[in-house]
Amino acid sequence: MPRLACQGGILELPTKGLVPREEPLVVGRNLAIGRSPATGTAAHCHGMHEDWLRRWAEGNIGFHRHDVHPALAKHWQPDRGTVLVPLCGKSVDLRWLAERGHTVVGVELAERAIADFFAEQGLQCARQPGALPAWTAAALPITIYQGDYFALTGLACDAVYDRAALVALPPERRAAYAAHTDTLLRPGAFRLLVTLDYDQALVAGPPFSVPEAEVRGYWPELERLERQAANHDAPPKFRAAGAVLHEAVWRSRGVGRT
């Protein structure tokens, strides 16, 4: 059984059969989840959360990369300030950003993912209880809030890195995600976003197809730097359906080209 050293004790984590905890949905100040049909009902959100927790419990995490995302290494520009990483999973990109000089704030629903991140990175951490418990590394400036991204408030980050976060959400949640992300950033914050697009009629998400026009509608200040075929990395369901997957990289306009 993996053991994770955290301030105040050792957390023991079963490798299999982790039972998703029945947690009530936490509702953020800025969003009334469950009241607006446009953002999905509370039951719908809860169902999606259960699906993600089940994936983590079963190790069904094909989206996880063992290396730093090439778009991050190639196109990231700032080297100081606080970076928001929504729906961060256990991405090694968190460490890359912290080692570059940033204070990193991740948000992740699954306790399993957060515990695995610190254990796999060999980082001791302290876990501060709260509505969204905050897991903070001892040796690097990385904090991961555990819970629903939409419940996180009160930040003014200097930059955001979104890889597989917007595309993890179904269409009816994405406008709320875009608006909520904006509330957590200071004006003019640097943004790097990695999206996927494919024929949504052929395959069901996640990951969902997010068309170019939708991204431009949320953030007209972004420019698309790259769009490349990504079938080599695609889950088997894409190959089975004959869907052609593209990955696009978006960045704040007006920063130097790399």
Q: Residues in the site for ligand SAM, rule: CB under 6 A?
A: 52, 63-64, 87-89, 91, 107-110, 113, 148-150, 163-165, 168
23 versus 223: smaller Cβ distance to ligand SAM: 23
| CA separation, residue 105 to residues 28, 102, 143, 241 (Å) | 17, 9, 5, 37
Of residues 199, 197, 196, the one with CA closest to residue 243: 199
Give 67 or 79: the residue with its C-beta nearer to ligand SAM: 67
The secondary structure of residue 79, as a DSSP letter, is: -
Q: Residue 94 or 189: which CB sits closer to ligand SAM?
A: 94
- The nearer residue to ligand SAM, 66 or 257, going by C-beta atoms, is 66
- Cβ distance to ligand SAM smaller for residue 129 or 187: 129
- Return the residue nearest ligand SAM (CB atom): 89
Sheet of 82-85: strand order equals: 9-12, 3-7, 125-128, 134-137, 142-146, 103-108, 82-85, 157-163, 185-197, 246-252, 222-229
| 162: Cα separation from own chain's centroid | 6
Tell me the backbone φ, ψ of residue 18, rounded to 5 degrees. -65, 125
User: Which of 224, 67, 221 minimizes the C-alpha distance to 210?
Assistant: 224
In the complex, least distance from residue 254 CB atom to ligand SAM, rounded to whole angstroms: 25
Please give the angle made by the CA atoms of 112, 116 and 120, to the nearest 5 degrees: 175
